[in-house]
Amino acid sequence: MRIDLHCHTSPMSSCSEMTPDEMMMSAIDAKLDGICLTEHNRVWTPEQADSLSQKYGIAVLRGIEVTTTGGDILVFGIDTAPEGLLTPQQLKQIVDANDAIAIAAHPFRGFLLFGFGILQMNVNDAFENPTFSQVHALEICNGKVTDEENDFARQVADALGLIKIGGSDAHSREAVGTCVTNFEAEIKNERDLITAIMNRSFSLERCK
């Protein structure tokens, strides 16, 4: 199954330019089998996701992009948005209690812009980021960051032995499906998704 694991829609994510219906139409155009709703600090209800899935005939899975003191973390497997600004450690406690999964989103977005390249940041330097000890995976194919940043995230994930996932981080129609995760098994719900990610039974595809 070809799934985009990271998408935002309006009005639940105020930064997004596309409605859920526009996202779904773009997903169909991109020949996706499923899409994940990962709004900022908000979770769709199962009924809302099921309604959208039935309307368009492709899987709609629920996640959340949580803002923490250590950066943005994608979570699959929780039904309620955490309250307040948490540390990655506090979020990990919630994740573990729900048998969920945590993924550091776009972990090096902007690192060239903000001068890390000039400082010659290397993989060993990245090990010092305490957030990485509180997640299961890194997003190493993100449609909104540079190839260099994605490649650096891949190197860090390899060095740390973390799972490597991809998602478009779409906030507009044209961005949907730019980074796709191809799962070997059928993904019917969030529990299937978590199992497949933890088993690393997938491959990544940069489409645009």
Q: What is the mean pLDDT of residues 109-136?
A: 68
Q: Which class in CATH covers the domain with range 2-206?
A: alpha beta
Q: What is the mean pLDDT of residues 18-30?
A: 98
* pLDDT at position 160: 92
106-115 pLDDT tens trace: 998 865 444 4
CA 169, CA 182: separation in Å to the nearest integer? 16
Closest CA to 52 of 20, 92, 74, 9: 20
138-184 pLDDT tens trace: 999 999 888 888 998 999 999 999 999 999 999 999 999 999 999 99
Cβ atoms of 17 and 9 closer than 8 Å:
no
Q: What residue type is 135 in one-letter code?
A: V
Domain boundaries defined on the chain: 2-206
Mean pLDDT of the chain: 92
